């Protein structure tokens, strides 16, 4: 016989009420809300409390929102040194977004982030580069610029350009030149200016006029960028790093440099020999001058001595007057007379032209000395 489910529930509820009355109605289970039978639930019942159902709906709604945020990502994070350009249905907002968390409407709006830090664009040879056109921490690498000199010879130029996007006009720059604005503004301008400057010189003059060429390239790039509307880019610096010449031109320049160095060496040797000769001549001249001065000094000394002797003789001669000579003769005559008293053999020397002796020698003493 089939069981009536409703009758069964009524009897069970009646039995429960009777048991609760027997316990005095103090059981905490009395406060629980009545449950309705749910055949799909494994327990057979579900809660009819509206508060619990509301919480469940809130949790489900929160989960849905989180999933939508993760999937749609209706926000971007703009870092320092960047600006955001909001695009609404293909139209660029003219006011750039500053760093921070910025929200947009998915499927209708989008935010493009542009870097406003100083960027570096290197034009380098294959050996120095690796992957061309790839950015690494704000450094963009590109092929070296291949140009022709005034005679049609191919020359490779390597240089570095530093520039910065104008953040205030970034929306206009993006709308005008597109995402590849660097290629349109910097790359093309640099290559055109380098071609125009290098085409004025023959290849062999490029190394010797490096500073002049570097200034012309710098001025040319700045002038071309300044002509652009809305000042999209601020140029920081242009550095000419290398001028790679053809091998034949290098050989010719090396030969010229070797010949020039040899000429410089010969000129140096000639100058050195000339300086040595001038040094020897100067030494000889100095020595001759010293000898002349020395001989002149000796001659002057002899002249001075002769003059002194002559002056002395003159003074002596002037002092020998007749009376003095007569006195000297008398004195000698007196001494001779005294000598004759002791020695009759005394010798008498007479003055030339005079009769009075002026010198006598005692012959006795002379004889004793001879013995």
- Provide the pLDDT confidence category of residue 264 given band limits of 50, 70 and 90: confident
Tell whether 14 is covered by a domain: no
Tell whether 234 is covered by a domain: yes
Q: Do 256 and 272 belong to one domain?
A: yes
CA–CA distance, 163 with 142 (Å, rounded to integer): 15
Q: Do 183 and 256 belong to one domain?
A: no
% residues pLDDT > 70 (the chain): 71
In this structure, what CATH number is given to the domain that contains residue 236?
Answer: 3.30.479.30
pLDDT given for residue 122 in this prediction: 93
Tell whether 112 is covered by a domain: no
Q: Do 142 and 228 belong to one domain?
A: yes
Tell whether 7 is covered by a domain: no
Q: Which of the given ranges, 85-89, 274-278, 348-352, 360-364, has the highest pLDDT on average?
A: 85-89
CA–CA distance, 112 with 84 (Å, rounded to integer): 5
Domain limit, last residue, from 213, 245, 277: 245
pLDDT given for residue 235 in this prediction: 94
pLDDT given for residue 342 in this prediction: 72
Tell whether 107 is covered by a domain: no
Q: Which residues contact 44 (CB under 8 A, 6 or more apart)?
A: 37, 38
Q: Do 331 and 293 belong to one domain?
A: no
Domain limit, last residue, from 218, 245, 272: 245
Q: Alpha helix (H) ranges present in 180-209?
A: 181-182, 188-198
Q: Do 229 and 336 belong to one domain?
A: no
pLDDT (tens digit per residue) in 294-317:
888 788 788 888 888 777 777 776
- Please choose, from the candidates 144, 148, 76, the residue with its C-alpha nearest in 3D space to the C-alpha of residue 114: 76
CA–CA distance, 233 with 168 (Å, rounded to integer): 11
The average pLDDT across 194-205 equals 92
pLDDT given for residue 265 in this prediction: 82
Give the structural domain span for 213. 119-245
Domain limit, last residue, from 225, 245, 265: 245
**Which range, of 16-20, 31-35, 177-181, 362-366, averages the lowest pLDDT?**
31-35
Q: Do 239 and 252 belong to one domain?
A: no
pLDDT given for residue 44 in this prediction: 46
pLDDT (tens digit per residue) in 311-344:
777 777 666 667 666 777 777 777 777 776 776 6
Phi, then psi, of 73 in degrees rounded to 5: 45, 70
CA–CA distance, 231 with 237 (Å, rounded to integer): 16
CA–CA distance, 305 with 282 (Å, rounded to integer): 34
Q: Helix, strand or coil for residue 19? A: helix
Q: Do 311 and 341 belong to one domain?
A: no
Please provide the average confidence, as pLDDT, over all residues in the chain. 77
List the end-to-end C-alpha distance of the chain, in Å, as a whole number.
Answer: 205
Q: Do 199 and 145 belong to one domain?
A: yes
Q: Do 240 and 218 belong to one domain?
A: yes
- For 44, the token pair is 């057979």
Beta partners for residue 139, in sequence order:
120, 136
> Could you give the number of structural domains in the chain?
3
Tell whether 309 is covered by a domain: yes
Tell whether 363 is covered by a domain: yes
CA–CA distance, 162 with 118 (Å, rounded to integer): 7
pLDDT given for residue 129 in this prediction: 47
Q: Do 268 and 282 belong to one domain?
A: yes
pLDDT (tens digit per residue) in 77-92:
999 999 999 999 888 9
3 state SS for 21-45: HHCCCCCHHHHCCCCEECCCCCCCE
Q: Do 225 and 131 belong to one domain?
A: yes
Tell whether 63 is covered by a domain: no
pLDDT given for residue 123 in this prediction: 93
Q: Do 185 and 135 belong to one domain?
A: yes
- Provide the pLDDT confidence category of residue 233 given band limits of 50, 70 and 90: very high
pLDDT given for residue 240 in this prediction: 94
Global confidence as pTM: 0.54
């Amino acid at each position: 016989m089939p069981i009536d489910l409703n009758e069964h529930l009524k009897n069970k509820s009646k039995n429960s009420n009777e048991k609760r009355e027997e316990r005095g109605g103090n059981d905490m289970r009395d406060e629980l809300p009545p449950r309705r039978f749910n055949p799909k639930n494994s327990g057979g019942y579900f809660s009819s409390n509206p508060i619990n159902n509301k919480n469940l709906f809130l949790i489900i709604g929160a989960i849905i929102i989180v999933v939508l945020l993760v999937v749609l990502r209706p926000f971007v994070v703009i870092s320092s040194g960047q600006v955001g350009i909001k695009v609404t249905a293909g139209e660029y907002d003219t006011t750039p977004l500053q760093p921070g968390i910025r929200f947009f409407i998915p499927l209708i709006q989008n935010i493009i982030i542009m870097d406003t830090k100083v960027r570096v664009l290197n034009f380098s040879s294959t050996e120095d580069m690796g992957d061309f056109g790839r950015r690494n921490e704000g450094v963009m690498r590109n092929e070296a610029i291949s140009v022709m000199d005034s005679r049609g010879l191919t020359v490779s130029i390597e240089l570095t350009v530093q520039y910065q996007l104008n953040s205030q006009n970034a929306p206009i720059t993006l709308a005008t030149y597109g995402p590849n604005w660097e290629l349109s503004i910097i790359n093309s301008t640099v290559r055109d200016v380098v071609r125009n400057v290098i085409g004025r010189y023959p290849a062999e003059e490029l190394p010797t006029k490096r500073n002049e060429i570097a200034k012309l390239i710098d001025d040319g790039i700045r002038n071309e960028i300044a002509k652009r509307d809305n000042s999209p880019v601020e140029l920081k610096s242009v550095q000419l790093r290398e001028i790679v010449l053809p091998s034949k031109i290098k050989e010719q320049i090396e030969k010229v440099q070797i010949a020039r160095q040899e000429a410089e060496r010969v000129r140096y040797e000639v100058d050195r020999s000339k300086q040595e000769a001038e040094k020897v001549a100067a030494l000889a001249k100095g020595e001759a001058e010293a000898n002349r001065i020395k001989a002149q000094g000796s001659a002057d000394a002899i002249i001075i001595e002769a003059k002194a002797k002559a002056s002395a003789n003159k003074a002596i001669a002037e002092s020998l007057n007749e009376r003095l000579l007569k006195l000297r003769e008398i004195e000698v005559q007196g001494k001779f007379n005294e000598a004759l008293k002791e020695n009759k053999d005394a010798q008498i020397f007479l003055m030339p032209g005079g009769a009075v002796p002026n010198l006598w020698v005692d012959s006795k003493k002379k004889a004793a000395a001879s013995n």
